[in-house]
């Protein structure tokens, strides 16, 4: 007799009598990921807070749970990312976040002022076109991470790697939104640029932490640490490069 992948209860029928998860849960593939997408986008349930807490405390282990079939308590990764991006958009809009202030520009060299205002305008362009460039960034990030997993002899397929990317980026966006919500009201150019730099470091370290937990423990810790940091920096670079590439193409 087979058992439920979510709670290990013996299965009788199409659904688990203990937790209610479908007995037909299979390994994630491209087809199942796409099949679940419409439901993921248009349905919201209780898994949001569970996702946030688990992905904050034990991100790699939580993602492994999801991939192994324990999905009943989780919010779908695609929906989670959509929700995170919407929240981030609202926070930036509400706080009217900018990377300069008018008084600062008056005392700056014109060329330096132009660089800062151009950067600010570009960040707002990215914000307004988020749902276009994630279509480029997610496949690019998944491909990069798939190669990294292959190099570390991990057995994740392409779709499972995409799930890792979706979860990690969604949680990172929510962390960023919280930082913006706390500090975005302070309209000081130097301060906000410092916050942005710290935010980038936090997101890289978070992505590295996710990878560190996902890598096989049998590997030496120093190997996992170095490759995890490389992966964290790499994912950040892929997302930045994807955004700027899109800006060059249609901006």
Each residue of 62-121: pLDDT tens digit? 999 999 988 888 888 988 998 999 999 999 999 999 999 988 888 888 898 999 999 999
Question: pTM for the whole thing?
Answer: 0.81
Each residue of 31-60: pLDDT tens digit? 666 666 555 555 555 567 888 999 999 999
> Are 76 and 87 contacting, i.e. CB atoms less than 8 angstroms apart?
no
Cα separation of 246 and 26, whole Å?
Answer: 35
User: Which tops the pLDDT comparison, 81 or 250?
Assistant: 81
As given in the structure block, the two tokens for residue 189 are: 């150019």
CA 158 from centroid of its chain's CA atoms:
16
Other beta carbons within 10 Å of 143: 15
As given in the structure block, the two tokens for residue 185 are: 């009201």
Q: Is the pLDDT of residue 243 over 70?
A: yes
> Are 73 and 50 contacting, i.e. CB atoms less than 8 angstroms apart?
yes
Which single residue is written with the structure tokens 């901006």? 251
Cα separation of 246 and 243, whole Å?
Answer: 5
């Amino acid at each position: 007799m087979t058992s439920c992948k979510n709670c290990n209860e013996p299965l009788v029928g199409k659904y688990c009598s203990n937790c209610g998860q479908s007995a037909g849960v299979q390994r994630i593939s491209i087809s199942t990921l796409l099949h679940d997408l419409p439901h993921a986008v248009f349905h919201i349930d209780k898994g949001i807070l569970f996702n946030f807490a688990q992905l904050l405390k034990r991100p790699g282990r939580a993602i492994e749970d999801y991939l192994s079939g324990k999905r009943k308590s989780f919010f779908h990764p695609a929906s989670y990312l959509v929700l995170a991006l919407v929240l981030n958009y609202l926070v930036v809009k509400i706080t009217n976040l900018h990377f300069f202030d008018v008084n600062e520009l008056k005392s700056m060299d014109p060329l330096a002022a132009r660089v800062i205002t151009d950067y600010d305008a570009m960040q707002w362009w990215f914000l307004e076109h988020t749902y276009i460039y994630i279509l480029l960034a997610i496949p690019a990030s998944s491909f990069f991470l798939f190669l990294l997993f292959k190099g570390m002899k991990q057995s994740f397929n392409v779709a499972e790697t995409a799930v890792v990317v979706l979860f990690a980026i969604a949680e990172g966006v929510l962390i960023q939104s919280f930082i913006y919500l706390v500090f975005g009201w302070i309209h000081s150019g130097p301060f906000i640029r410092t916050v942005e730099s710290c935010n980038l470091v936090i997101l890289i370290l978070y992505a590295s932490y996710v990878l560190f937990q996902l890598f096989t423990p049998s590997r030496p810790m120093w190997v996992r640490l170095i490759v995890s940091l490389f992966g964290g920096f790499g994912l950040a670079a892929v997302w930045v490069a994807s955004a700027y590439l899109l800006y060059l193409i249609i901006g």
